[in-house]
Amino acid sequence: MRGDWDRGWLRYGFIAPALVLLVAMNIFPLLYSIVLSFTNADLVGSNSSWVGVLNYKFVFKFAKYGQALRTTALFVFLAVACELLLGFGLAYALRDRFALKPLVLTVLLVPMMLPQAVMGLFWKLILNGNYGALNQFLGLLGFSQPQWITDPDLKFLSVLMVDVWMWTPFMMLISLAALQAIPPHIYEAAAIDRASPWRTFRRITLPMCAPLLGLAVLLRATDALKQFDLIMALTGPNDRVTQTLSALLYQTVFRDGKVGLGTAYSYVILVLVIALASVFLRYMGRLQRESDS
Amino acid sequence: MRGLRFLFVGVYLCLGTLPLLWLGITSLKERPDTISVHLKWLPSGAAGAEDDAYFAATLDAYRQLGVVYAGADHAFYHYLKNSALIGLLSTLASVFIGTSAAYGFSRFPIPGAKDWLFFILSTRFLPPLAVVVPVLMMYREFDLQNTHLGLIILYTVFNLSLAVWLMKGFIDEIPRAYEEAALVDGYSRLQAFRLIIIPRAASGMAVTGVFCLISAWNEYGFAMTLNNQDAVTVPVYFAGLQGNVQGIPWPQVCAGVLLFVAPIILFTVLVRRHLLRGVTFGTLKQ
């Protein structure tokens, strides 16, 4: 009776619902959008016709696209770097036990669980140039009060700042796990060898944390690459300075109504995401094998 | 050195929590105090002078959550109900379908299981905006646009990868001996799954459910693009208020945001020991 389950097709009954749903709602749409990207389909659903590779030609000709690609790359790099430095710094500072540690950690972790779109709107109040709390505070200290969200020189920085506020806790969480996984006897051995604190940090702490920090960076980078909610809330999808690939895609499809061109854009994003994700998946497979053995 | 560490953590803790504190303070204000050029941060019984730090604290904003504001068709609670309905049903579906798949992968020899699992995980990395256009076209065919069901299906699938991976971690930790004993006693596979595995995986299912619920609760991209009338969720509602010509009703927005994120904060505290597992798809355990 058990043999039926283990060898027969019935065991697939357990996994079939999940796979069917994923294929229907993820794989099929992706294939369907390949078709769409070769047409001039629009959002209202009037008759569309085949236009060949025209959309892809447009994608690479538009200056907007190059700009969005640069903005996205810069955003991913700066956001991940700031969050890693701050998050690892916090974890390193919090590595020892102390009485209030669980409470402090929980409070620090809250922002990353909150809805980005909603918090983005609220940050608009804080960052408002005329009545925002940040500027009122800067005013009390006698600093100048810039227009954080509308000044072209500052709005990218503002989006970055809110992203760092939301996602530094994520880096801290994984960094803490990495620091806690280092066996204490290694530090004891270093102390016996009279290694300086800096040397211990360079030669033991950092290399032993590196694999998990790599995992954190990859996870965060794939997420930052998709960043859309914060940009929509803070500056809107059609802002020259903060228009990332996702924002450009939204603008093209839902504001300009050009579905064919939009799906062609989405394939360019997909190639980037798939490249990053496959690095991540391979990396994660390796980590799992190491922890299994 | 130690002092420096605590200073760093202390400064970050203040800066990190100040925005949340400000959310609470703003929800107690009246609108003119939210757009004053002076920093109004001290609640008091009566309104202070125009240029001092006091503002008259009131719970009016919470009472006015039932009011319909320009930029939306209904009041906050209507959208909260949509969010709750869509979040809870999609979470239930993800957890059950995910648990069943995780059990299959955990207990049976399935050819290419590793590849299937990584395929499932890879779907998590798809940018919502890259799939939303074809999904929109499909939904038009099936009349699922602007329906709760449409978003429930989408969120269920969107959270499946997380549910499968987290549940596989939890089920792998349940010794096989339990169900093997049950099978010897004459239970069928399904009975063993239902009566032996599910009760032992219940706490894992609860943790998985919390993560699925939070990600459905917070979702914005799909919710905004797939509907604009009947199944609008809270994040889309708040974003819509930006179109209000009289200016955003900040105290009411802040009161609503606080009510909306309160369950998330509560759940974060409840699953704090599993946060690491949750954000790394079960790869890392605390």
A62-292 CATH, one of 1.10.101.10, 1.10.3720.10, 3.40.50.300, 3.50.50.100: 1.10.3720.10
The whole-angstrom separation of Cα B170 and Cα B102 is 9
pLDDT at A229: 94
- Confidence class for position B23, pLDDT limits 50, 70, 90: very high
Domain assignment present for residue B68? The answer is no
Interface with chain A: mutation pick from B4, B12, B210, B259, highest number of A CBs within 10 Å: B12
B272 to A102: CB separation less than 8 angstroms, yes or no? yes
Domain assignment present for residue B32? The answer is yes
The whole-angstrom separation of Cα A142 and Cα B36 is 18
CA distances from residue B57 to B43, B46, B54, B62, B132 in whole angstroms, order as listed: 5, 8, 9, 12, 44
CA neighbor of B161 nearest in space, from B89, B95, B113: B95
Question: Are residues B141 and B18 located together in one domain of the fold?
Answer: no
Question: Are residues B233 and B133 located together in one domain of the fold?
Answer: yes
The whole-angstrom separation of Cα B200 and Cα B197 is 5
Using one digit for the tens of pLDDT, what is the confidence trace for B86-120? 999 999 999 999 999 999 999 988 888 888 998 89
pLDDT at B286: 66
Domain assignment present for residue B50? The answer is yes
The whole-angstrom separation of Cα B265 and Cα B268 is 5
Cβ neighbours of A2 in B, within 8 Å: 183, 189
The whole-angstrom separation of Cα A132 and Cα A119 is 15
pLDDT at A7: 58
Question: Are residues B142 and B26 located together in one domain of the fold?
Answer: no
Question: Are residues B162 and B210 located together in one domain of the fold?
Answer: yes
Using one digit for the tens of pLDDT, what is the confidence trace for A239-256? 989 999 899 999 998 988
B9 to A225: CB separation less than 8 angstroms, yes or no? no
Secondary structure class of B42 (helix, strand, coil): strand
Interface with chain B: mutation pick from A2, A26, A109, highest number of B CBs within 10 Å: A26
Average pLDDT over residues B12-20: 94
Question: Are residues B36 and B121 located together in one domain of the fold?
Answer: no
- Confidence class for position A293, pLDDT limits 50, 70, 90: low
Residues of chain A with CATH 1.10.3720.10: 62-292
Number of domains in chain B: 2
Which residues, other chains included, contact B270 with Cβ-Cβ below 8 Å and sequence gap of 6+?
Answer: B210
Question: Are residues B14 and B103 located together in one domain of the fold?
Answer: no
CA neighbor of B285 nearest in space, from B159, B168, B202: B168
- Confidence class for position A291, pLDDT limits 50, 70, 90: low
Stretch (H or E) spanning B56: strand B54-56
Question: Are residues B108 and B29 located together in one domain of the fold?
Answer: no
Average pLDDT over residues B65-79: 90
Give the A:B interface size as CB pairs under 8 Å: 268
Give helix B198-218 / helix A116-127 axis angle, nearest 10°. Answer: 40
Q: What is the distance of C-alpha A109 from the center of its chain?
A: 16
Q: Quick one: closest CA in A to B213, which residue?
A: A113
* Residue that wins the pLDDT comparison between B135 and A273: B135
Write the CATH number for B255.
1.10.3720.10
Interface of B with A in 187-246 (CB under 8 A): 188-189, 193, 214, 217-218, 220-221, 224-225, 234-236, 238-239, 241-242
Q: Could you list the residue range(s) of the whole structural domain that residue B22 is in?
A: 2-58
Burial B74-112 (b: 16+ CB within 10 A, else e): ebbeebbebbeebbbbbbebbbbbbbbbbbbbbbbebee
Domain assignment present for residue B6? The answer is yes
The whole-angstrom separation of Cα B174 and Cα B188 is 18
Q: Average pLDDT, whole number, for chain B?
A: 90
The whole-angstrom separation of Cα A18 and Cα A208 is 37
Amino acid residing at B149:
L
Q: Quick one: closest CA in A to B100, which residue?
A: A14
Does residue A264 register a pLDDT over 60?
yes
Distance spanning both ends of chain B, measured CA to CA: 28
Domain assignment present for residue B11? The answer is yes
Domain assignment present for residue B238? The answer is yes
Place of tokens 């907007």: A64
Using one digit for the tens of pLDDT, what is the confidence trace for A174-211? 999 999 999 989 999 998 988 888 999 998 999 999 98
Question: Are residues B265 and B133 located together in one domain of the fold?
Answer: yes
pLDDT at B163: 96
ipTM: 0.91
Does residue A1 register a pLDDT over 50?
no
In this prediction the pTM is 0.91
Does residue B157 register a pLDDT over 90?
yes
Q: What is the distance of C-alpha A47 from the center of its chain?
A: 37
Q: Tell me, letter by letter, the H, E, C secondary structure of A101-144.
A: HHHHHHHHHHHHHCCHHHHHHHHHHHHCCCCCHHHHHHHHCCCC
Alpha helices in chain A (DSSP H): 2-7, 12-22, 28-37, 54-61, 63-93, 101-109, 116-127, 133-140, 155-180, 184-192, 197-200, 206-225, 229-234, 245-250, 259-292
Question: Are residues B26 and B161 located together in one domain of the fold?
Answer: no
Does A138 contact B at CB distance below 8 Å? Answer: no
Does A137 contact B at CB distance below 8 Å? Answer: yes
Question: Are residues B52 and B111 located together in one domain of the fold?
Answer: no
Question: Are residues B39 and B80 located together in one domain of the fold?
Answer: no
Stretch (H or E) spanning B55: strand B54-56
Question: Are residues B94 and B40 located together in one domain of the fold?
Answer: no
Does A198 contact B at CB distance below 8 Å? Answer: no
